[in-house]
Amino acid sequence: MALRFQNKTAVVTGAASGIGRATAKRLSDEGAQVVLADLNFDRAKQALSQMSDRCWAFQLDVSQEENWQELCRQLKQRGGLDILVNCAGIGITGDFEDMALQDWQAMMDVNLTAVFLGCKHAIKLMKCNESDSSIINISSVGGLVGGEDIAAYCASKGGVTLLSKSLALYCAGKGYSIRCNSVHPSYVDTEMLDPIASTLGGRETMLEAMASLVPMGRVAKPEDVAASIAYLASSDAAFVNGHQMLVDGAQLAGIPARHSA
């Protein structure tokens, strides 16, 4: 595998599991020093066993600004930051009229406010870099279209989509060599689906139902999304900025033939 990220430092939030863990592994395999940032510090440290010895773990509550400030203080001492992947996220489903304010606020805190905080403090570090830096924010297909039973989730991810575009313009306008893009996965086979599986007759039944909604006929693997993130983080994407990258197996491309009259 090419070492596109040799001598680069990356922070991946939500790195203890799912897309975050797969992304940390991909960046590490390509030469990066990766900080596995997660609220679950024990699982983050366990994930380090799959990474190079350049990597380290940091306990991060993404919704708390002082946590980001401490992480960036340590990064500055260790040489700076080149890549930020805001991957931590949560999802709560249900009837919109019955949604508790605390559930709405939790999704906004983790899915949107945390991305604001991460980008804010990363840019302060990255703007001093001599070489290109990259921010990748994980949104969702739900950040581009609505969902009947995931209205709050879609609202938070829609915010990520437009925040990313705005920051691409902001950094370009300031003359910073920092690109900002968003990634929009469809269904991904990760631990985040476990609560849904329990209500749909088991994991295999759930995955089969989800795959039937994807034109390519399968659910994404975390590695599928990690590969797209790695591209956006690399110099191969040097002129890709303010982009919303779909990783959805053509789910949002249009209406499949079987749905036509």
How do the pLDDT tens digits run along the chain, 261 residues long?
679 999 999 999 999 999 999 999 999 999 999 999 999 999 999 999 999 999 999 999 999 999 999 999 999 999 999 999 999 999 998 899 999 999 999 999 999 999 999 999 999 999 999 999 999 999 999 999 999 999 999 999 999 999 999 999 999 999 999 999 999 999 998 877 766 666 666 778 888 888 988 999 999 999 999 999 999 999 999 999 999 999 999 999 998 776 555
Q: Sign of dihedral through CA atoms 17, 25, 245, 218?
A: negative
List the domain boundaries for the chain.
9-187+222-249
Whether the pTM exceeds 0.85: the reply is yes
Pick the CATH number of 9-187+222-249 from 3.40.50.1820, 2.80.10.50, 1.20.1260.10, 3.40.50.720: 3.40.50.720
Closest CA relative to residue 244, chosen from 156, 187, 166, 161: 161
Task: Please tell me the predicted confidence (pLDDT) of residue 255.
Answer: 82
Q: Which residue has the tokens 């890709």?
A: 240
Structure tokens at 251: 């789910």
Distances (CA, A) of 119 to 43, 83, 135, 196, 198: 24, 11, 7, 30, 35
Please give the positions annotated as active site: 153
Task: Determine contact, residues 55/49, Cβ cutoff 8 Å.
Answer: no
Rg of the chain on CA atoms, in Å: 18
Task: Please tell me the predicted confidence (pLDDT) of residue 205.
Answer: 82
Task: Determine contact, residues 215/250, Cβ cutoff 8 Å.
Answer: yes
